[in-house]
Amino acid sequence: MAVIVGCRVLLQSFRQQTGTIDGVCRLKDHAKYLQNLLNNKLQYIRPTSNGATRHFSSDAKDDLSVRYLDGEDSGIVVFGINRPKQKNAISKNLVNMMTEAVESVKKNNKVRTVIICSMVPGIFCAGADLKERAKMQQSEVGPFVSKARSLISEIGNLPMPTIAAIDGAALGGGLEMALSCDIRIASNHAKLGLTETKLAIIPGAGGTQRLPRAIGVALAKELIFSARAIDGTEAKRLGLVSHAVEQNKSGDAAYLRALELAREFNPNGPIAIRMAKLAISQGIEVDLNTGLAIEEACYAQVIPTKDRLEGLAAFKEKRPPRFKGE
């Protein structure tokens, strides 16, 4: 009975998500506003090896770059953290901007993959902005940490695939942000660690929960107790990242590998990918029988879609499918 009730709740959630995928685009105008804002940027720009750009600026309004890629990469959205002087540390403003960006893509059925990366060479995110934290009143700390934790959870709950491209140090809250993504890619010399115990605190944005799920309980305890940072190669060996790549001269090797991976996702059915993500994410937290029931409920959501019929037609006609997320 509990499984049946649980599946009913899940199905309601699925209907909301698929309804969203099928065309609820209430945030379309806001996303367009963000894009127009980004298109008008004239800060310091350095081309990267794939023709994209990195923006360097100390202005708070530029702490986050949100790029909606186009052409063959249409559907890929890149969140670029851009606080060079603060080593991309998580501030109030960055939390607010990322929360807004996450909300803008959450219900956008045209977004296929979100990549979170750094616009600053050699750093992904150094964790919380401790200089800003030191200036906070005691009463401000709790609400800020709560909002940062909520942001990281919202990244984890995005319906489309998310990839963290770690081209430099990801420490404390920076690694917790990466852990909330579906897939992590690191350069071989990147540094990753939950180092909070050095400051006599513990990871407070999901690290104590997500790290054990990624690499196992004993190893997670060892890394958290010791506050040890490991490089990308070791992170790959432990299963903390899916890929460790040799860094290039422009310092964006992990980003480029993330982009390649997103391009592999792009041609496939977007509703199917979202349902597969939901089935995996929900199913891994329950027993096998309940997980199979969740999978069945997710499968039921793709049967009536136009994309499924398009996939069959394309297979029959021996041509690439043209999926629309419908």
- State the catalytic residues: 128, 173, 176, 196
Q: What backbone torsions phi and psi does residue 219 show, to the nearest 5 degrees?
A: -65, -40
Cα separations in angstroms, 15 against 22, 34, 43, 271, 273: 10, 28, 43, 12, 15
The secondary element (H helix, E strand) that includes residue 313 is: helix 306-317
Q: In whole angstroms, how large is the CA radius of gyration of the chain?
A: 20
Structure letter (DSSP) for residue 207: H
Q: E strands of the chain, at which residues?
A: 44-47, 53-56, 64-68, 76-81, 113-118, 123-125, 162-166, 169-171, 183-187, 191-193, 230-231, 243-245
**What six digits make up the tokens of 110?**
């045209």
Nearest 5°: the CA angle 26, 64, 243 is: 100
d(CA 160, CA 106): 8
Cα separations in angstroms, 315 against 82, 303, 311, 320: 44, 16, 6, 8
d(CA 261, CA 273): 14
d(CA 205, CA 264): 30
Q: E strands of 63-156, at which residues?
A: 64-68, 76-81, 113-118, 123-125
Cα separations in angstroms, 60 against 63, 65, 72: 5, 11, 32
Residue with tokens 């939390």: 95
CB atoms within 10 A of CB 74: 12
Residue with tokens 């050095």: 198
